[in-house]
Chains A and B, each alone.
Chain A
Amino acid sequence: MSGMNNLDMSKLQLSPRKILWISYIVALFLLGFLAWEYFVELRTQTTSYWSNKLVTYIILIPAIAAAITGTMLTRQFEKGESPYRIWLTFTLGLWFWVAGEISGLNLDFFPAAAFSSDINLVDVFWLLGYFFLGLSLYYQILLVYGIQKKLGIPMYLGMVALALLIALVLTTLTIRAGRGEGNSWALLFVTILYPVLDVMEGATAIWLSVLFGRGQWSRPWWGLILFAITDGIDALYRSGGYDFIPVWFQNALNLTSLVAYPASYMVAGITLFANYCILQYGVESGLLKPAKRS
């Protein structure tokens, strides 16, 4: 881990700025590839199992990279410092999502990982990821507004309970409306819980992003906004919203979702790495403006 904590840029002969540029280019290339893959499928009207898997594996690369850079960033702080717990919980959330991605892949090969036909290990990891990412946002809000620490975890647990309650009410309303037939209550509840969590976390991330403006510090939150967009489209699809929109718009939404999903990890990973470089190398990182010398 100490190697992870201190990258020796001089050995790499690359400045943090160059590494970031290379990361942007690689990210754009991967996103371009995914978009191309989508258009090929659209044109040929065929979906191959292995091309789907390839997409999932490609997504895994930025997901792991984001979790690693999050770890590197977290290790830049001492345990007593306020940003430590923000980035620790953010990174834990990312690692849980990585675990979710990996278990999602393995589910095909090890079906025993599924708890039931509706809820499986993937959901557990996803929900844990949401919990920690939400906690990270919550800590950041407390810090920005200088709210006393004593509000702490109980207040956050209250918010989680509120999200569960909203999902519960919506699930009940959905069943009463006669929708979601053929799905178990648990599957319906989890399906509704995801967009509820997305709305809460996405809105908080937007709020923080507006507050931080273009500041480097909050850019990892942009990743969460992209996740919320992806899940929003997914929720629209699952709730039958696609029945009311034309095909071209459905395709546009599908493409957006397909690109925004890996892009969210990429944005989180690259911006976390930028923050790491600022902390590790200061002005020498080339990401900060040196003070005027005369």
Chain B
Amino acid sequence: MKYLFPQVGNLPVDNLAKNAEAYLRDAKITGLIEKQLQSGQSAVWLFAGGVPSMAYMLENGLSRSILQTEFSSVPEDSIRSVRAIKLPDVAGRLATLALESKLQNNTKVTDVAAWKEQVGKWGREQWSGLVEIKSEAIYGLALFWKGELKESDSFFSTPLGPITVFPVFENLNDFPWDVLAYNLPSSEQTYQYAALRHGAMNWMNRILNRYQELVGRKLLQTMDRELNLQVKPWLWKIVFEEVKVVDSHFFVHLQDAEQAYRALLMSMGSQMNIVIGNILTQRILNETFEQTYPDERAILQSLRLVPAAFSE
């Protein structure tokens, strides 16, 4: 049965069953509430920045989504224990993916070399999916996208505290690992959100790179600064630094992510229009858009996040 991030301690709240929800909402934090039932099932409710997200019922390693009211109405006498933890947004996103995905295979990894071999295989296959890693003392979720391990989508809970950098995690040497690979169901919104996020980030990174080539570092930094200022009032955890943009935000709905990316791409387009003109801006947007992966492009197009929308 899935038991997400067991090393993370409970929220500092009395009577978790009653008060955890209010605590997460009021403090506007990301986390989850987990009710272990006498029947062996468990109900999990995720929160993103205090906003209630999906709820799931877990049984025999399988999960199905349930209504929030269903989660709240679990009779108290059927609850064995309650856990409520605070998580970074990245972990929240990964938890949703873990609960939505289908198990592909389960392997034992005995050392770093075997792990690296497995990572190499996924890389060659350009595999996209979620990996859950469990051992005596550590637990982690990491997203592979087009065969590449995404550090911006990795989170590990360890006795030393949370870790997001893979080499550090590997060096903990807590083998053997139980490695579960999950396929991402392309029809699910969670997958579409991941594809949209990676597509938008991939596109934006390429735009920033090309823009820097044309106008230099100083103007790029000006654009970064403006975009970071734009992000602030919305409390989006998206950071622009030089030619890299990192999105660590957990958007509950696909539309919320779409709106955020649209606003940022519009600002990028508008700044570029002023500096390098609309024809060249359009050219850069087109060129870089074509460099994204076909499925990323498809979701961007389906949401009308296309070059023509961001240049005057």
Contact = CB atoms under 8 A, between A and B. Distances in A.
A144 B213 CA distance: 9
Residue among B218, B222, B276, B277 with most chain A CB within 10 A: B277
Contacts of B214: 82-83, 143-144, 217
A283 B222 contact: yes
Interface stretch (B35-43, B77-85, B224-232, B295-303): B224-232
B218 A218 contact: no
A212 interface: yes
B275 interface: yes
Interface string A203-224: 0000000111111111000000
A293 B226 CA distance: 9
A156 interface: no
Given A212-B276, A288-B271, A279 B229 contact: no
Given A282-B225, A292-B230, A143 B213 contact: yes
Given A213-B278, A215-B280, A216-B274, A83 B215 contact: yes
Given A83-B215, A143-B213, A211 B279 contact: yes
Nearest to B273: A215
A108 interface: no
A214 B234 CA distance: 32
A6 to B, nearest CB: 12
B233 A293 contact: yes
A2 interface: no
A240 interface: no
A81 interface: yes
A294 interface: yes
A214 B276 CA distance: 8
Contacts of A290: 226, 229
A74 to B, nearest CB: 11
A1 interface: no
B217 interface: yes
A78 interface: yes
Given A217-B215, A279-B216, A289 B276 contact: no
Interface string A129-148: 00000000000000110100
B267 interface: yes
Nearest to A285: B222
B219 interface: yes
A83 B276 contact: no
B276 to A, nearest CB: 4
Q: Do most interface residues of chain B lie in helix, strand or loop, or is the interface mixed?
A: helix
B286 to A, nearest CB: 13
B205 interface: no
Interface residues of B, number: 34
A76 interface: yes
B263 interface: yes
Contacts of A82: 213-214, 216
Contacts of B219: 278-279
Contacts of B68: none
A210 B218 CA distance: 25
Interface in A31-51: none
B72 interface: no
B218 A215 contact: no
A287 B219 CA distance: 12
Interface string A171-207: 0000000000000000000000000000000000000
B183 interface: no
A188 B266 CA distance: 54
Contacts of A291: 226-227, 229-230, 267, 270-271
A283 B223 CA distance: 9
Contacts of B279: 210-213
Given A211-B280, A212-B279, A289 B216 contact: no
Interface of A: 76-78, 81-84, 143-144, 146, 210-218, 278-280, 282-283, 287-294
Given A143-B214, A212-B279, 7 more contacts: A84-B216, A146-B213, A213-B279, A217-B276, A279-B222, A283-B226, A291-B226
